[in-house]
Structure 1
Amino acid sequence: MKKLKLPLLLVSAMICVVLMAFIKADDDTIKKAAAQLDKWLDNNPQEKVYLQTDKPYYSIGDDIWFKAYVTVGPRHQLSAMSGTLNVDLIAPNDSVARSIKLPLTNGVAAGDFALSDTLQEGNYRIRAYTQWMRNYDLDYFFNKTIWIGNGVTNKVFTQTSYAYSSQNNQPLVTATIIYTDANGAPYANKEVSYRVQLNARNAAKGHGTTDSKGMLKIAFVNNMPNVQKTGRITTDIRLDGKTVTKILPITAASDKIDVQFFPESGNMVNGLPGKVAFKAVGADGLGKTVTGKIVDNNGNQISDISTQHLGMGLFMLTPDAGKTYKAQVKFEDGSEGIYNLPKALDSGYALTITQHENDIFVRISASKDLTGTTQGSVSLVAQSAGAMCYASKTRLENQVSSSKIPKSKFPNGIVQFTLFDAAGNPVNERVIFVNNPDNLKLDVSAPKQTFATREKVNLQITANDPQDKPALSLLSASVIDETKVPSNEDDETTILSTILLSSDIKGYIEKPNYYFAHNDEKTRSDLDLLMLTQGYRRFEWKNILADTYTPIVFKPEQSLTVSGTVHTSNKKPVVKGKVTLFTTAGGTFIIDTLTDDQGHFSFPNLTFKDSIRFVIQARTEKGKKDVDIDLDNTAQQAFTANPNAPDVEVNVDNKILPYLKSNKEYYQEQIRSGTGNHNIVLKEVVIREKKQNKAPNSANLNGAGNADQIITADMFENMGCPTLSQCLQGRLVGVIFQNGRAYSTRSMSSSFRGPVPMGIVLDGMQVDADFLDNLNPHDISSIEVLKSGAYLAIYGSRAGGGLLVITTKRGGEVTYQKYAPGVVTYTPKGYYRARTFYSPQYDDPKVNTALADLRSTIYWNPNIVTDKDGKSTLTYFNAGTKGIYKVIVEGIDADGHIGRKVYRYTVE
Structure 2
Amino acid sequence: MTLKKAALLLSLSIISILPAFAQKDTVSLTTILRKTSKLTTGYPIEKVYLHLDKPYYAAGDTIWFKAYLTVDKHSPSNLSKVVYVDITNEENTIIQSLKLPVVNSVAPGNIILSSDLFKEGNYHLRAYTAWMRNFDPDYFFNKNIVIGNSINNPLNTTISFNSSGTGNQLNINTHIIFKDAADAPLANKKVMWRVTANGDDISSGKTNTNSSGIADIAFAGKPSLLEDAILTTEVELADRKTVIKTFPLKTAAAEKDVQFFPEGGELINGVLTKVAFKALNTNGLGIGAKGNVIDNAGKIVANFTSQHLGMGAFNLIPEDGKTYKANVTFTDGTKATYSLPRARPSGVNLAVYNVDTAASITIKISSNSPYFDANRGKPYYIIAQSGGAVYFAAQTALASPVYSAAIPKSKFPTGLVQLTLFNGQGTPVSERVFFIQHHDNLTLNLTADNKVYTTRQRVKIAISAKNKKVPVEGNFSIAVVDESKVPFDENAESSILSNLLLTSDLKGYIEKPNYYFLSKNANAAQDLDILLLTQGYRRIAYSEILAGKYPPVYLLPEQHGIELSGVIRNNTGLPIAKGKLSLQIPAKNFYAETTADMVGNFKFSDLSFPDSSEVIISGRNNVNNKNLMLTANGETYQVPTLNRYVNDRILNIDTAFKPYLQNSKKQYDNSHNLKEVVIKSTTITPRHTDYPSLTGLPPEPDQVLNKDRFVGCQNLLSCLPSMLLGATVENGNIYMMSSYNSNNKLPMQVFVNGLPVDFNYLGTIDGSTVESVEFFKKDGLSGVNERYGTSGIISISLKKIKKTKISFNELQELVPPPYIMKLKPQGYSIVREFYSPKYGVTGQTAFGPDLRTTIYWNPNVTTDKTGAATVDFFNADGRGTYRATIEGFDADGNLGRYVLRYTVK
Matched AA of 1:389: Y
Deviates more, 1:445-454 or 1:362-371: 362-371
Q: Any residues of structure 2 matched to 1:735-884 within 5 Å, and which?
A: 804=810, 821-843=818-840, 848=845, 851-884=848-881
Residue 500 of structure 1 aligns with which residue?
A: 501
1:218 CA displacement: 0.7
Determine if the alignment matches structure 1 residue 659 to structure 2 residue 660. yes
Deviations, residues 701-755 of structure 1 (Å, cap 9, x unaligned): xxxxxxxxxxxxxxx9699999999x99xxxxxxxxxxxxxxxxxxxxxxxxxxx
Change (3 A) 1:778 1:195: closer
Three-state SS of the structure 2 residue aligned to 1:196 is: strand
Determine if the alignment matches structure 1 residue 527 to structure 2 residue 528. yes
Change (3 A) 1:892 1:690: farther
Residue 458 of structure 1 aligns with which residue?
A: 460
1:844 CA displacement: 8.7
Q: Distance in 1 between matches of 2:620 and 2:461?
A: 61
1:509 CA displacement: 1.0
1:4/1:43 contact within 8 Å kept: no
Residue 78 of structure 1 aligns with which residue?
A: 76
Report sequence identity in percent.
Answer: 39
1:198 CA displacement: 3.0
Deviations, residues 155-180 of structure 1 (Å, cap 9, x unaligned): 11111111111389821111111111
Residue 347 of structure 2 aligns with which residue?
A: 348
Residue 737 of structure 1 aligns with which residue?
A: none
Q: Any residues of structure 2 matched to 1:256-295 within 5 Å, and which?
A: 256-295=255-294
Residue 742 of structure 1 aligns with which residue?
A: none
Q: Distance in 2 between matches of 1:403 and 1:21?
A: 7
Matched AA of 2:170: P
Deviates more, 1:876-885 or 1:231-240: 231-240
1:20/1:34 contact within 8 Å kept: no
1:879 CA displacement: 1.2
Residue 327 of structure 1 aligns with which residue?
A: 326
Deviations, residues 730-786 of structure 1 (Å, cap 9, x unaligned): xxxxxxxxxxxxxxxxxxxxxxxxxxxxxxxxxxxxxxxxxxxxxxx9776999999
1:474 CA displacement: 0.5
Residue 400 of structure 1 aligns with which residue?
A: 402
Three-state SS of the structure 1 residue aligned to 2:40 is: helix
Residue 439 of structure 1 aligns with which residue?
A: 441
Residue 560 of structure 1 aligns with which residue?
A: 562
Change (3 A) 1:210 1:104: same
Change (3 A) 1:424 1:802: closer
Deviations, residues 532-563 of structure 1 (Å, cap 9, x unaligned): 11131112111222332101110111211111
Residue 88 of structure 1 aligns with which residue?
A: 86
Three-state SS of the structure 2 residue aligned to 1:513 is: helix
Three-state SS of the structure 2 residue aligned to 1:514 is: helix
Q: Distance in 2 between matches of 1:615 and 1:783?
A: 27
Which sections of structure 1, spanning at least 5 residues, go unmatched? 675-680, 701-715, 729-776, 788-800, 809-817
Change (3 A) 1:689 1:275: farther
Q: Distance in 1 between matches of 2:327 and 2:542?
A: 35
Q: Any residues of structure 2 matched to 1:634-653 within 5 Å, and which?
A: 634-653=635-654
Q: Distance in 2 between matches of 1:724 and 1:14?
A: 57
Deviations, residues 464-504 of structure 1 (Å, cap 9, x unaligned): 11x12112111100001111111111111111111011110
Deviates more, 1:15-24 or 1:115-124: 15-24
Q: TM-score, normalised by structure 2?
A: 0.83
Matched AA of 2:890: D
Change (3 A) 1:160 1:819: farther
Change (3 A) 1:290 1:846: closer
1:336 CA displacement: 4.2
Matched AA of 1:105: V
Q: Any residues of structure 2 matched to 1:615-634 within 5 Å, and which?
A: 615-618=616-619, 622-634=623-635
Residue 62 of structure 1 aligns with which residue?
A: 61
Q: Distance in 2 between matches of 1:821 and 1:225?
A: 53
Q: How many residues get paired?
A: 807
2:7/2:42 contact within 8 Å kept: no
Change (3 A) 1:346 1:167: closer
Matched AA of 2:237: R
Deviations, residues 82-104 of structure 1 (Å, cap 9, x unaligned): 00011112223322221111110
Deviates more, 1:14-23 or 1:615-624: 14-23
Three-state SS of the structure 1 residue aligned to 2:469 is: coil
Change (3 A) 1:496 1:786: farther
Matched AA of 1:212: S
Q: Distance in 1 between matches of 2:451 and 2:904?
A: 9
Q: Any residues of structure 2 matched to 1:368-387 within 5 Å, and which?
A: 368-371=369-372, 374-387=376-389
1:786/1:804 contact within 8 Å kept: no
Which sections of structure 2, spanning at least 5 residues, go unmatched? 686-705, 712-751, 770-795
Change (3 A) 1:19 1:599: farther
Change (3 A) 1:51 1:551: same
Q: Distance in 1 between matches of 2:900 and 2:864?
A: 21
1:693 CA displacement: 12
1:784/1:805 contact within 8 Å kept: no
1:699 CA displacement: 12
Matched AA of 1:70: L
1:321 CA displacement: 1.6
Three-state SS of the structure 1 residue aligned to 2:258 is: strand
Change (3 A) 1:520 1:482: closer
Matched AA of 2:876: A
Three-state SS of the structure 2 residue aligned to 1:174 is: strand
Q: Distance in 1 between matches of 2:372 and 2:167?
A: 57
1:50/1:68 contact within 8 Å kept: yes
Deviates more, 1:605-614 or 1:286-295: 286-295
RMSD across aligned positions (CA): 3.5
2:568/2:601 contact within 8 Å kept: yes
Q: Distance in 1 between matches of 2:297 and 2:710?
A: 83
1:26 CA displacement: 2.7
1:892 CA displacement: 0.6
Three-state SS of the structure 2 residue aligned to 1:51 is: strand
Change (3 A) 1:806 1:305: farther
Three-state SS of the structure 2 residue aligned to 1:109 is: strand
1:16 CA displacement: 5.1
Matched AA of 1:311: G
Residue 109 of structure 1 aligns with which residue?
A: 107
Residue 890 of structure 1 aligns with which residue?
A: 887
Matched AA of 1:433: F
Change (3 A) 1:530 1:424: same
Q: Distance in 1 between matches of 2:224 and 2:82?
A: 43
Residue 198 of structure 1 aligns with which residue?
A: 197
1:475/1:863 contact within 8 Å kept: yes
2:273/2:316 contact within 8 Å kept: yes
Change (3 A) 1:724 1:219: closer
1:851 CA displacement: 2.9
Q: Distance in 2 between matches of 1:96 and 1:687?
A: 35
Q: Distance in 2 between matches of 1:262 and 1:846?
A: 60
Matched AA of 2:311: M
1:20/1:31 contact within 8 Å kept: no
1:780/1:807 contact within 8 Å kept: no
Matched AA of 1:307: S
Q: Distance in 2 between matches of 1:410 and 1:724?
A: 61
1:653 CA displacement: 2.3
Deviations, residues 66-90 of structure 1 (Å, cap 9, x unaligned): 011000012x011011000111122
Q: TM-score, normalised by structure 1?
A: 0.82
1:124 CA displacement: 1.5
1:152/1:667 contact within 8 Å kept: yes
Residue 40 of structure 2 aligns with which residue?
A: 41
Change (3 A) 1:167 1:360: closer
Deviations, residues 270-307 of structure 1 (Å, cap 9, x unaligned): 11101111223345332333333211122211112333
Q: Any residues of structure 2 matched to 1:180-259 within 5 Å, and which?
A: 180-225=179-224, 228-239=227-238, 241-259=240-258
Residue 609 of structure 2 aligns with which residue?
A: 608
